[in-house]
Amino acid sequence: MSLLSITSILITVSALFAFVNYRTLKLPNTIGIMVISLLFSLALVLMGNAGFGDAERIASNIVGQIEFDEALLNGMLGFLLFAGAMHINIDHLLARKWTIGLLASVGVITSMFLVAACAYYLFQLFGFYVPFIYCLLFGSLISPTDPIAVMGILKTAGASKSLEIKIAGESLFNDGVAIVVFLAIFGMAVNGEAFDPQRIGLLFVQEAFGGAVFGFICGWVVLQMLKRVDNYHVEILLTLALVSGGATAAAGLHLSAPIAVVVAGLMIGNHGRRDAMSNTTVQHLDSFWELIDEILNAVLFLIIGLEVMVLSLDLKLWTAGVVMAVLVLICRLISVGIPVNLLRKLNREFHPHAVKILTWGGLRGGISVALALSIPPGPERDLIVAVTYVIVVLSILVQGLSIGKLIKATAEPETDG
């Protein structure tokens, strides 16, 4: 089946499921699409088990042709990150740079090791022997919060600006850190490379800092071009070129494309609006990127729901996933508590419930699934993919549907921390 055919089917099904959700479930759009997609997939699987397998085979064949890791990491991710970064106030972000920086670095690394230790013993308890290096690989892909899921949920959660900046800022930047760590551990686990702190440090500097500098340069160049144009068609086209061309070039230079796109998005969303665009352009640009964001999110969450058809339905695997989901939350609580309490001692103000909200608001999403699917075939991959999928689905459904209530119950005031 051609790429055009698969894309057409995904957009059509996304639209139908969005309509059904709007008329019946009335859940937030992305969550509603994923719920209907999950129910649809499970219904097809049950029909297949009951002897009516034609529909399931056709659907599984279509889903099996979707290279989810490639489509997300090298396709949709850049557009979604840019759309999210455009709406973040850079002054508010810089005011909370220490909180965001520590959560995106110390928090992620701490969580990775805690999750790896929990996974190592839990998998053995369920009868799965997984080398510790693969548990570290699992920890690196499940520890970062997903900016796509986080920002999609925060839109309807009613969070204060202070809280929204902390959660969204962390999720935008911790992916770059986590992907670098994932690549380093991937090399050791899959390719048998020796542990080399110097190589890992250089890789981090190249990917993370190099990506940020490259994103700044690309953003600055496009910003100068925007100042010399007053036609919203051309200006929107320039932002599209910035995302697609910038992400592709960053990947080709072995720099972090996600970080490059985020930095470029912050520049265009802040300096571009203020210094280079008319009100008409700003309105059209916002509408365009909001539409891109909604469409890609709908397709992404549809695929997450459909992926259940190509996963192993081993009850033991899924049970391990449910238990691991609880342990991941506990690890998140600890890894958030350490930097927040450190900053409190340095006289940074935090709401008493900040750790609780940051923990519960740290959703996992499609990026974790995509990284898990990028692991080469083998018993470790099957286990990690299944457990990751369970954690992501539970995170989106349970945390995503309840974070708004938690935020309203705690009513965090504005702070500078």
User: pLDDT for 147-199, tens place per residue?
Assistant: 877 877 776 666 677 777 888 888 888 877 888 889 889 988 888 777 778 88
User: pLDDT for 371-396, tens place per residue?
Assistant: 999 999 888 999 999 999 999 999 99
d(CA 260, CA 214): 6
Q: Considering only CA atoms, which of 385, 381, 383 is closest in space to residue 393?
A: 385
Indicate the pLDDT class of residue 312, thresholds 50, 70 and 90: confident
DSSP result, 237-289: HHHHHHHHHHHHHHHHTTS-HHHHHHHHHHHIIIIIHHHT--HHHHHHHHHHH
In terms of pLDDT, which residue wins out, 151 or 241?
Answer: 241
Indicate the pLDDT class of residue 413, thresholds 50, 70 and 90: low
Indicate the pLDDT class of residue 329, thresholds 50, 70 and 90: very high
Tell whether the model's pLDDT for residue 318 goes beyond 80: yes
Mean predicted confidence (pLDDT) in 328-356 = 88
User: pLDDT for 282-296, tens place per residue?
Assistant: 999 999 999 999 999
The reported pTM is: 0.92
- Whole-number pLDDT of residue 285: 96
- Whole-number pLDDT of residue 415: 54
Q: Considering only CA atoms, which of 285, 292, 269, 278 is closest in space to residue 219?
A: 269
Helix or strand or coil: residue 230? coil
Q: Taking the C-alpha atoms of 118, 77, 187 and 394 in order, what is their torsion angle to the nearest 10 degrees?
A: 20
Domain spanning 69-410, CATH class: mainly alpha
Q: Which helix (H) or strand (E) holds 407?
A: helix 400-410
Q: Where are the domains of the chain?
A: 3-64, 69-410
- Whole-number pLDDT of residue 170: 87
Mean pLDDT (the chain) is 90
Indicate the pLDDT class of residue 414, thresholds 50, 70 and 90: low
- Whole-number pLDDT of residue 205: 86
Helix or strand or coil: residue 374? coil
- Whole-number pLDDT of residue 53: 66
- Whole-number pLDDT of residue 411: 66
Q: Considering only CA atoms, which of 258, 415, 263 is closest in space to residue 340?
A: 415
Q: Considering only CA atoms, which of 268, 267, 248 is closest in space to residue 258?
A: 248
- Whole-number pLDDT of residue 61: 84
| CB-based contacts of 224, cutoff 8 Å, min separation 6 | none
User: pLDDT for 79-112, tens place per residue?
Assistant: 999 998 998 999 988 988 888 989 988 999 999 9
d(CA 325, CA 331): 10
Q: Are 394 and 322 within 8 A, CB to CB?
A: yes
DSSP result, 51-107: T--HHHHHHHHHHHT--HHHHIIIIIHHHHHHHHHTTS-HHHHHHTHHHHHHIIIII
Q: Considering only CA atoms, which of 322, 313, 305 is closest in space to residue 382?
A: 313
Q: Are 304 and 393 within 8 A, CB to CB?
A: yes
Number of Cβ atoms within 10 Å of the Cβ of 1? 10
Residue 332 in tokens:
């998140």
Burial class (CB in 10 A: 0-12, 13-18, 19+), 31: buried
Q: Are 187 and 119 within 8 A, CB to CB?
A: no
User: pLDDT for 35-83, tens place per residue?
Assistant: 999 999 989 888 877 777 677 788 888 888 888 888 898 889 999 999 9
Query: Where do the H-state alpha helices sit in 192-231?
Result: 197-204, 210-227
Mean predicted confidence (pLDDT) in 234-252 = 97
User: pLDDT for 210-237, tens place per residue?
Assistant: 999 999 999 999 999 999 999 999 999 9
- Whole-number pLDDT of residue 159: 67
| CB-based contacts of 122, cutoff 8 Å, min separation 6 | 320, 323, 324, 327
d(CA 118, CA 125): 11
